[in-house]
Amino acid sequence: MAFFAELKRRNVIRVGIAYIVVAWLVLQFSDVVLNNVEAPDWVFQVIMLLLAIGFPLVLLFAWAFELTPEGIKKEKDIDRSQSITTQTGKKLSSTIFVLMALGIAYLLFDKFSSQSDVEHTAQQIPDPQALAVKVEKTLTPVQVSINPQSIAVLPFTNRSRQEEDEFFVAGMHDDLLTNLARIGSLKVISRTSVTQYKDTEKTIPDIARELGVATIMEGAVQRSGNTVRINVQLIDAESDKHLWAEIYDRELTTENLFAIQSEISQAIADALKTTLSPEEKQQINTRPTENLAAYNAYLRGRQLLAHRRSNELEQALQQFSKAVELDPQFALAWVGLAESTNLLSFYGTLAEEIGFPVIEDAVNKALAIDANNGEAYTSLASLYDSRGRYKEAETAYKKAIALTPNYATTYHWYGMLLLEFSSRSDESIDLFLKAQALDPYSAIINTALAGGYESGGLFSLAEQQYLKIIDFDNDFAEAYVSLAAMYILELGRFDKGVEYARKAAELDPGNFRPLSNLVMAYLNLGDARAVESTIQRMQELDASHYLTAFTSVPASLLTAKPAGTQELINWAMPKLQALPGSAQFIAQIQLQIGAVAKARELYLTTTPAWLQADQWSQLIEKYPDQACIVAWVFMQTGNEELGISLQQQTLSFHEQILSATHEHVDMFLTDVCYLAAGDTEKAITSITTQVEHGHLFLLDQAHAMPMYDPIREDPRYLAAMAEREQIILEQRSALQGQADL
């Protein structure tokens, strides 16, 4: 007690309290200031350390020294009768009171200002999903700032008034855009978006504001016999004044046409105060062909690609084939041949085993003619992607961007590559937004952006985006196809999937994907008659098409016995061998009919890397819904240790990585990972969550796999599946009376 009394007499306790209060205020002030100046974390940590070290030193100083009217003296040298520690103590108490009042005032201010900030933020950002992608984009994204070196070239006017010249004039416009796209310092809006302003009555400033550019170019073309007149003018959007104008009267030859385009490109660069590199000068001055007929065929082909309709893609392929036949040294025509073949493999009936060699040959020829052709590298990257050579594909896309930085298709297709990897959806969205900035009215690019949102589990945002596209271009089949697929595969709205898939099939009768969507929707609805009639329609289009084979296998489970399904798998697999994702889905069906050994064989035939642990990281990211199924198969077929390792790595990916990038991890069959580990409690919780979130796609078929045996009689599992069945019944009822295709 005597020691405590001495501490009190010497004001050590008061000094300690005052020090603590001051230190706390210093830390609060430092936190605010350092955050505002974005100082590194270690600066704040150093301040904390110094204050902590100072505390015992201050206490020691208060014990050993005393403040007197003559200054600071050692306590042992002061006569107790002359000590003024009582007065000093009163002053310290007053100081502590003031400091504590300041601290309380700060706490109250921080509390109420933070609450106000939260309320303000909630008002400004009502949809938390938008935060996941930083900003919600629309078909006409608002530009915060406009690049002064940006341009939109409006569609040229055809002054010859002859209908056959429309392709020529549109092609001239398209080719000029291609030339400008090679200038890296410019931002050039793509053709699809500027086409919206053909014959518009909108003012130049309004158009520029909607497209987010600083300058607008207008032009007119008049072809008469063997001569052509091209009239162009560059306009500053803000002032609506001419920056430059020129009229070109030339003989109609390829040499003159390309020379005019080069001159216009150089004039635009000069007017926008940008300097061309030697490589850019060489590219804009290169004449792609000397053959006017080949050039006309190429121009027609380019106009036919935009809408992605299967019949128009076939016509485009014919035009590009004609162009390279007329001029085998026409590199851009070879690129068009590769691109149209690629798109036909996806949107039409062209089998990939036939299309791949054609694409490869066309790309190689294009690059042999022009090794710096960015468009060719885009097609090469897509070919690598189709063959599973993802690193090479990414390298080729980056090369394409470096060579042709304004080619929106490169960003679009590069984003599609990244969509194949479940944890890279944010990167794909960024690429789609770059493509959208170059081509804001492109329906296919905006559809891809919706797909990026969908890939990240932002289904509400994706649905809004798809519906905006349909509202903007209600004849664009691909938006209906993609929206239907999302309703079916991810949201369990099979009735709505049928509605949109039917519309897509009506708009593009030669496209297999709407029909495939319909088969999958009808399978979930349990409508065997509708499944059979839709597959019959696919067979009439092309019985050997890979989607005909792919959809026929799960469809057989409605009617066939296991032996019949296995026979159908044997027929389908040669058509799916080059498509590992499809083949692994078929392996899953083999498990459903009890053919575990055959499932293992199929997994390893199509993807031998499953046996290589150093390849698992990429495989798990690409096939997060299949990896634990493969792990379970390994456990049942003599590779238990390997299977356990794969299961553990996959579950870790689901819980730690995928959960950070996707709003609905449960839809990736995480329940199989838990079942493979014997954790039935978490498996049932995962299944219950799937049903609650509407992830109902073919659950009845998937749950026929033997790893689900331990939970089949669990009341919670039975309740979840009964809930799914009730949802299905309600949707079937909603569809009653609607005619099948």
Q: What is the DSSP string of 117-184?
A: HHHHHHHH---HHHHHTSS---SSPPPSS--TTEEEEPPPEETT--GGGHHHHHHHHHHHHHHHHT-T
Phi-psi region of 212 (alpha: psi -120 to 50; beta: other; left: phi over 0): left
Q: Which residue has the tokens 């020129």?
A: 246
Query: How far lies 380's CA from each of 282, 342, 366, 485, 493, in Å?
Result: 22, 10, 10, 28, 37
> Is 0.95 topped by the overall pTM?
no
What is the pLDDT at residue 81?
57
542 close to 558: Cβ distance less than 8 angstroms: no
Contact between residue 435 and residue 408 where contact means Cβ atoms under 8 Å apart: yes
- Region label for 669, one of left (φ > 0), alpha (ψ between -120 and 50) or beta (otherwise): left
pLDDT of amino acid 249: 86
User: Residue 516 and residue 521: Cα distance in Å, rounded?
Assistant: 9
Spatial CA neighbour of 439 closest among 415, 482, 465, 406: 406
- Contacts by residues 425-433 (CB-CB < 8 Å, ≥ 24 positions apart): 425/452, 425/455, 425/456, 425/661, 425/662, 426/133, 426/456, 426/661, 428/452, 428/455, 429/133, 429/453, 429/456, 433/137, 433/141
DSSP-derived 3-state class of residue 454 = helix
pLDDT means over runs of 10, the chain (741 residues): 61 71 72 58 69 73 63 60 60 62 59 40 34 41 67 86 74 80 84 83 89 90 83 87 85 80 85 80 78 85 77 89 93 91 77 80 92 90 86 94 90 92 87 91 91 91 94 90 95 95 92 93 92 92 86 84 81 78 87 93 92 92 93 95 95 89 85 94 94 91 93 95 94 73 41
Q: What is the pLDDT of residue 67?
A: 61
pLDDT for position 662? 82
